[in-house]
Amino acid sequence: MCDNGVNMKLIDMFNRAMKQCDILLDLHKALLTTNSRSVRSEWKSRFFDAKLVKWAMRDGLWRSTGKSILILGNNHSQLTHESFSSEYLSVFLRSAIVLCFAAIDKILHEAVSNNFVNLVRSESLDKIVRLEVSKCYEIAQGARIRRGKGGKSRSRPGHKIKTEVLSRIYSETFLAPRRLEEICAWLGVPHVFDRFGNTLKPRKRNEEIKREWARLYCRRNQIAHEGDIIRKAKGQKIHFHSVRADMIRQDVDWVRGFGSFICQSLHRS
């Protein structure tokens, strides 16, 4: 549907967005503390004797040791050793899930924008976004007003309608399984879940891919809309859904593969 340059822009945009996910995952891996006990008194004394920083011993000292990084702070810091614990750094993992889904949403929004004219001609755009008659009438009436020197110029209603439609499109999400499948079909890639499953080794059936996407989409919503707090009918204690770095990285990679497939499919359509 689009020229090669536009579709290459989609994959570039997607990869740049996914790079932000990788940064979050790398930060979690690098900063996660591996030590649990407090700084020993002799180590603390040697540190202050070396005068590496202009801190007083009375200010205290804490240390967080990662696999290949050492972080030091005193008691006046807003951070503590606990700031680099698994519980605290889980915010990076949760954010990575939300961001990788945003990358998918972004390329779908851009694909609709790039194919605006084709979608109008096929009447598919009517199914993607609704524009009230009253709004269209308002835009048409505004186009009657002459502007410029001598009132020779009029605004272009078609351009204003497109701007309004795109504004609404960008404010919506296309991530729900059925909605995503519909959008891809209108963009020339029908049965997107089935097609993606056929590229995997071993091959996955349409239902399996759709079920996995629905699971990840639900997980994204728990984080983005509910703060990842577990729903409870009763009870005052607040508990969060558990997160594991290896599982989150696996989920992000799955979304990366699916998003790349969508970009490549749009390139061929």
> What pLDDT was estimated at residue 191?
98
Residue 51 is classified by DSSP as T
Tokens of 4: 């090669």
> What pLDDT was estimated at residue 7?
47
Distance separating alpha carbons of residues 235 and 47, to the nearest angstrom: 47
pTM confidence score: 0.86
DSSP letter for each residue of 124-183? -HHHH----HHHHHHHHHHHTSEESGGG-EE--HHHHHHHHHHHHHHHS---SHHHHHHH
What contacts 188, CB < 8 A, 6 or more positions away? 1, 266, 269
> What pLDDT was estimated at residue 161?
75
> What pLDDT was estimated at residue 4?
44
Sign of CA dihedral 184, 186, 188, 192: positive
Tokens of 155: 């605004």
Q: With a cut of 70, which residues of the chain have pLDDT below it?
A: 1-8, 131-158, 269
Q: Which of 180, 181, 199 is nearest to 264 (CA)?
A: 199
Domain boundaries, the chain: 91-125+174-269, 130-171
pLDDT tens for 217-248 read 999 999 999 999 999 877 778 999 999 999 99
